[in-house]
Amino acid sequence: MRLFATAAILLLASDDTAFAQTTPPPATVAFTTAASMPSLKDDTKKDTFQVGLSDSQVLTTLQLTCQAGRSRLLILHTDRACEVSGNGSIINPSNGQKLQRTQYMGGYTVKSDGSTDGSTMSINYLALGKAPASTTQFSGNMNLRPENTSTGAAAIRDAVLKKINADNTSGAVIDQRVDTVDISRLYIPSAGFPSDKGCTWSGNMVFAYQTNSWFMNLTGNCNGKDYAMKGNMPWTKTPGVDAQTQYDLTLTLPSAGVLIGGGTLWPGVVTAADAQDIVARYSFAEWVIARNRAEGIPWTPLALPPMRDGTTRKFVFWRCTVWLTRDAAGALVMDRPRNSVALGSLSDRVISSAP
């Protein structure tokens, strides 16, 4: 079912407001996905894939309806046609009103050799305010190669397999199979704002069967500026939900800080594009407050254990270390052994010193 990631990438790339800003503010991006694949049991049925993407400026939904058969996320082993539909709204910042702006139309076909033409998809822009109605075509190409490696993706494949083999201390058999995606100047039109001109994407993606993970190395040109986007997307079980799995998306936007878990910019962390580690150390204060509306008691701090000298304790201080490091594909991931939370605060000297 790996075909589903096509929709995810299109939506992430189409929201170029997230990339094409001189100083991107910390923001939360809500990213939802759902798949229905009745063709697994009845080949007369079609599979549907739905994606939602929203932030403070744009709300977009996209649906893919694909021919019955071996629909797999991003990779198809035979020609398969998918219809694309959906719509999008821009959000009025003054009152939160959703104003319909975009309609997604068309579709694409993945041929048996893996080639896919993006120009068969388009976006209709509805008239809104002073912005007139118009239509813009997607353009560019993708090459989707199942259980094979394209020339462009060879470097990522080699790095991923090298890391997998190095970690294999048990001597178990390693699944060397990979799927690869080449993206060649794939133009994704604007998500709806007239000032945004869309983004043109190129790069490679590799899916490693051994780890059930995608590894990405992409570059987008948005409003005349290049943005590198690297990361991974493992296929994992959904915590606490039986018979359900999910993709956990981790992306790095070197010019805009760190994007973790499918959408939240980590405030205050802006690094060089080639940084191998990112370490954030800070202190914070904790206290407990409560209220009882029925008895008319307002928010009131609860008493904490006194200080050692008997004086009143107003806060409990904690210190925290967050450590990210590069994985085999060059993406920043959590280095869990070096992350910690403990009682007590850190001095300015410690916070400002090298880790």
pLDDT tens track for 98-149? 999 999 999 888 777 778 888 999 999 999 888 889 999 999 988 876 655 5
List the helix and strand counts (H, then E) for the chain: 3, 23
- The pTM for the full model equals 0.59
Percent of the chain with pLDDT over 70: 72
Token readout for 157 is 């494949």
Kindly report, residue by residue over 273-298, the tens digit of the pLDDT.
566 787 878 787 888 888 888 888 88
Kindly report, residue by residue over 138-155, the tens digit of the pLDDT.
999 888 766 555 666 677
Give the domain ranges of the chain: 4-265, 277-352
- Gyration radius from the chain CA atoms: 24
Kindly report, residue by residue over 309-341, the tens digit of the pLDDT.
888 888 888 888 888 887 665 666 778 788 888
Which pLDDT value is given to residue 343? Answer: 86
Q: DSSP class of residue 28?
A: B
Give the mean pLDDT of the chain: 75
- 8 Å CB contact between 53 and 11: yes
Token readout for 19 is 């990339």
